[in-house]
Structure 1
Amino acid sequence: MTARVGVVTFPGSLDDKDAARAVRIAGAQPVPLWHDDADLKGVDAVVLPGGFSYGDYLRCGAIARFAPIMTELVPAARSGALPVLGICNGFQILCESHLLPGALTRNESLHFINREQRLRVESADTAWTNRYTAGEEIVVVLKSGEGRYTAAADTLDELERTGRVVVRYAGAAPNGSERGIAGIANEHGNVVGLMPHPEHAVEALTGPSEDGLGFFTSILAHLADGVPAGSSAR
């Protein structure tokens, strides 16, 4: 049976259609979810896409955490039962919802960044990265003004110690993120947030590479429950 991956649209979402397209290219069925939906429609996994949910008023993601769709999403994700990928604004929403620790703040340069970005995969042991190999470098897209990841020193140490840093900027972090962190996971490995955009790198015609597709094929492998973590076949 084809996996059903929900893609949430908030007022101000920009990359929901791109995320749905990446899900479709990977071989799953994208299911549109509206921020005001009361339930998740029985989807197998969820993507929180990039954009400016609710206009980024207060703080990025601060209002989205209270959306009705989050009522079911948060406890299911926290329990480890529901895989969730938060991209850019989606990462901010995951942090505001306390599904992931830390916060995303203004870029160190105070300028919006829009560029191709090389990342190093640090963990292939999550629901969203098992089709990569630890240490592998990929090229995706980075486009954000508030993408600097920060957390208390003991939180950063814990993320490092438990292998929950998922991707890191290769070379200097362009936004000043602590320890070059570009993405992290929760303790179960089912929730992953990252600032760069893998959904913009799923076809050679429209992106800098096809390297981002591995995030979306990884969730299919995870749901099939038959592919070992760390497989590099994509």
Structure 2
Amino acid sequence: MLSISCLENGKVNIDFIKENTPEVLLKNKIAIFNPYQVHCSKESEIKTIGYYTLYLDIKWCINLQKKLNITQDNQFMLFDRNMINNQCEYETLIEICEKIQKNSNFYNFEKEIAKFISSLFSANIPKESKQLFNKIDKSLISLAKEYMLDNLDENISLEDLSSYTGYNSTYISRIFKKEFGLSPHAFMVNEKINRSKNLLLDNTNTISYVASKSGFYDQSHFSRNFKKLFASSPNTFLIK
């Protein structure tokens, strides 16, 4: 989902976690939140009035970008900035949001919204961003995979991955499914089992020791997962 925000008066502090870039949303500015972009917003002591946000479906946005010839391979092209300072665009957004507030049916204003969003796309998505979404996918996979492999003896949660990478947990799950056909949890269990297999090849290691070093909380938990992957128990594997 693409989110676009503005306010009539006041001040909102926004931290974009992955980019490590704090921004301030003020009157006459528009805040852009690219899909899955992790951020934290906090009102200042100044009273905020008329804080509006448009939430736009990505498929709808991609179709719009296709018409503008700024997309390829059905990938959403990201904005190159998170804050836009343009009074004309700001006033248009305020006007659209006020109309929607009075009549919540999106389709009554779809043409008007499409025209406004098209203007934002054309002015704020550079040509070189065409491969950016795929690059972010690969970068995220590499970062998350490295973190998980470095901490196989720990129980890394989706929340841990989200905190470490700066990306939304739903997005991380989707990208792992796309790349490996596995959830992050299943991927990590597989890697733990592969590590345990190597440890078992050293006949001096006990099964309880291997289970502990592979990040399983007890021997039975380890044995169940080992059997799922290799169709035999750790004991049978040792005999073989």
* Same fold, TM-score > 0.5, yes or no: no
Higher strand share: 1
The TM-score normalised by the length of structure 1 is: 0.23
Between the two structures, name the one with larger relative contact order (CA 8 Å, sep ≥ 6).
Answer: 1
Q: Which has the larger radius of gyration?
A: 2
